[in-house]
Structure 1
């Protein structure tokens, strides 16, 4: 974790304080090889399946937190990814959806531990996943689609119909800065974002070992 100015707005502290972990997640060798098209299509199907397990749990947490006075502001039905992932997995894997990897099981266990009843835990994981999807994911998705000749079917996960990523990111940062969290919970949120990045990296490492070793 990079030290962040404790007086800065929460959105700034999150961005600067987790830059090292963010860059490590973005620099995954597995993702690089997917973009280059040097892995079999089944490797991308496996990534989609692991995402399915993660988002199934995260979006269950969103339903649990929808009425929370703080966390509920971060529940956006238009961001829901599970239906698109279900279609992607069916298109890519047919009837044989890959099982969750050990790192994916650890990830979903962490979500169940902190995202269903702790606002800082839910916001941390929601921020890490969805803001990533609306940032780097907007470049990753089209690149993978080109590499594997996908035209709609198979990469719906990366497409947010009716959502302007730049506008939404600005709105999200404003919500973070306005969130009624204690300083202690802000610190917990910051630490949990670091943990969320590490969990994501672990899933990519498991995929790397399965497909690119």
Structure 2
């Protein structure tokens, strides 16, 4: 890790975070309105629905964090890589608490494609940033709502939902603001900035496919 979001504040592309938000708004809304997500968040499923989703996300985060480790010293990707965001150990423990063996799970076809897209960013750090942004900013935002809904609707316990707990980050909004400032300070040329935006839209599309497969 070359720095942390709080330490990286040089705004060389001050519009990137806003451009990302605007460009992904429609795809973000579609993902949130997916049938599986609506049913899960409304309490129309059962705990197995969350278990199935968590098991698939394990593959996504394992790829994301393996690539992140490889790019931790990269001048483009490194500034967003932060040990406090690491989710795989928590997600693995959650799956065990939920009665699942992470090593016995199998990725759905859409998840396998999602993982391949993330792994391809080892040689394209700008595109890695897009996947990092879509996943972790979502966990720090809507993920907190998911945690409360899973406890409310399905009786899941805190030990089953540690994925959404970020030790070392005391103020989530302040961290998210600093993260966006870090994005705006990344040393990107115009083509790289466009690649970040395009890949972020694609990442939401991967999530839409995941939700569709879970619903099926």
TM-score by length of 2: 0.89
Q: Which residues of 2 match residues 114-125 of structure 1 at below 5 A?
A: 114=121, 116-125=122-131
- Match for residue 185 of structure 1 among 186, 189, 192: 192
Equivalenced residue count is 202
Match of 2:208 among 191, 201, 209: 201
CA–CA separation in structure 2 for the residues paired with 1:98 and 1:202: 18
Structure 2 unaligned spans of 5+: 1-12
Once residues 17 and 9 of structure 1 are traced to their aligned partners in structure 2, the CA distance between those partners, rounded to angstroms, is: 12
- Structure 2 distance, partners of 1:142, 1:105, is 28
Native 8 Å contact 1:103 1:203 kept in 2: yes
1:60 aligned counterpart, secondary structure: helix
Conserved? CA contact 2:127–2:196, under 8 Å: yes
**Aligned partner of 1:88 among 94, 112, 116:** 94
- Aligned counterparts of 1:27 and 1:8: Cα–Cα separation in 2: 30
CA distance in 1, matches of 2:207, 2:176: 20
Residues 1:118 and 1:149: Cα distance change in structure 2 (over 3 Å): same
Mark the CA change 1:42 to 1:98 in structure 2 (over 3 Å): closer, same or farther. farther
Residue number among 53, 58, 66 corresponding to 2:59 in the alignment: 53
1:39 alignment partner, SS class: coil
Maintained 8 Å contact 1:134/1:165: yes
The reply on whether 1:143 has 2:149 as its aligned counterpart is: yes
TM-score if structure 1 supplies the norm length? 0.90
Superposition pairs of residues 34-183 of structure 1, within 5 angstroms: 34-95=40-101, 97-114=104-121, 116-163=122-169, 164-183=171-190
Question: What is the CA RMSD across the aligned residues, in angstroms?
Answer: 1.5
In structure 1, the gaps of 5 or more residues are 1-6
Please tell me whether the aligned partners of residues 70 and 180 of structure 1 are also in contact (alpha carbons under 8 angstroms). yes
**CA pair 177-95 structure 1, distance change in 2 beyond 3 A:** closer
RCO higher in structure (CA 8 A, sep ≥6):
2
Q: Which moved more, 1:25-34 or 1:117-126?
A: 25-34
Give the C-alpha shift of residue 40 in structure 1. 2.8
Partner SS state of residue 24, structure 1 = helix
Return the match for 1:11 from 11, 17, 32.
17
Among 12, 28, 37, which residue is 1:31 paired with? Answer: 37
Post-superposition offset of 1:151? 2.3
